[in-house]
Structure 1
Amino acid sequence: MCFPAIAAAVGLGGATAAGATAAAGVASASTLSTLATLATIGGTVIQGISGLNAANQTRAEIAAQAETERQLTATQDARQRAQTMRVIRQQSAELAARGVSLDSPTAIALGQTAAQELAFDSQSIRAGGVARQQEFSSQDRLARANGANSILRGTFGAAGQLLTAAPDLWPGFLRQGGAA
């Protein structure tokens, strides 16, 4: 009688089939573990990219708001100048109606005072606009830094997860000098 027939009669053949099934189960579990690790790594990278995209969206909104504020500041300055010029023309008309010559020292002093007020009001409005623009610039730099931080955190997190999982993914990864 040959050895395979004896092994089958004794039941060793069944053990071989069970061993093959167990080996397939281990391989399947290993594959699932590898897929889970890769999904985790991919998720970390995607999370970093999402953070970068959110930061870029924030930056776009900040830029739009900054442009709107620039336009509002320019409009407010123009309106204030127009209002001050109306007051100057009204004062000139009142002086002329009273018979005061527009080249008299009084009229010139009033005109100079009004011009100084015009310049002061305009400068005040523009300074407020500059302060708001600086605030938007700071917010933009913060959003840019948050985006860069997010993508770096995602990339380095994924790299860390890959290195942590490397011995499980590649069993010979940590071998040194050929010894296990």
Structure 2
Amino acid sequence: MCVLSALTALGTAVGGATGAAATAATGLQTLGLVTSVGGSLWQGISSAQAYSAQMKEVARQKATERALTATKEQRTRLQFSREIRRQATELAARGINLASPTAVALGQTAAQEMSFAAQGVRAEGAATQAELTSTQRVLGARRASSLLKGTTTAAGAFLRGAPDIWPELLA
């Protein structure tokens, strides 16, 4: 009888250990699933935050470029104005009447060139602004894509792992 009780006690102990191991394995599976889902979400959010930071930097660069374009245009106009004044002073020093058709034509040509140069500076600035705006849009799309990817990857990991951890879901 003593042997029979010892065997029964041994069977109960082995069965309890097997149950504990199964519970531990399920706990590890759950931890792995949570880690996988959380990691995917974290990666998506982290990437989105990085893209947002880049978008802010591009916005700062746009503001800087806008100010630089305005300064460059102003300096271009100032240079042309100085050159027009220098040319007028030269003509007057040579004794040419500034109201003469030749002097007026030279002044008009110089003014047209000044306007053309300023338009060139503005066009260059507009092209830079368009390029930076496009960069911002690309970064915004990548931000949205990273959030979507993180979410769908997390959902996929959850849907793949859930039946292993909770088999009653399939019932």
Which of 27, 33, 47 is residue 31 of structure 1 equivalent to? 27
Alignment gaps of 5+ in structure 1 = 176-180
Cα deviation, residue 7, structure 1: 4.7
1:112-135 deviations in Å (ceiling 9; x for gaps): 101100000000111011111111
Partner SS, residue 140 of structure 1: helix
Higher helix share: 2
TM-score (norm 1): 0.90
Distance 1:76 1:158 in 2: 50
Distance 2:87 2:155 in 1: 74
1:42-81 deviations in Å (ceiling 9; x for gaps): 0000000111011111111211222222122111111111
Give yes or no for the alignment of 1:93 onto 2:85. Answer: no
RMSD, matched Cα: 1.5
Distance 2:4 2:133 in 1: 81
Alignment gaps of 5+ in structure 2 = none
Paired residues for 1:66-81 under 5 Å: 66-81=62-77
Q: Which amino acid aligns with 2:81?
A: M
1:76-99 deviations in Å (ceiling 9; x for gaps): 111111000000111111122222
Which of 34, 38, 43 is residue 39 of structure 2 equivalent to? 43
Percentage of matched positions with identical amino acids = 47
Partner SS, residue 103 of structure 1: coil
Match for residue 140 of structure 2? 144
TM-score (norm 2): 0.94
**How many residues are treated as equivalent by the alignment?**
171
Partner SS, residue 116 of structure 2: helix
Distance 1:99 1:75 in 2: 36
Partner SS, residue 67 of structure 1: helix
Distance 2:162 2:29 in 1: 12
Paired residues for 1:162-177 under 5 Å: 162-175=158-171
Match for residue 5 of structure 2? 8
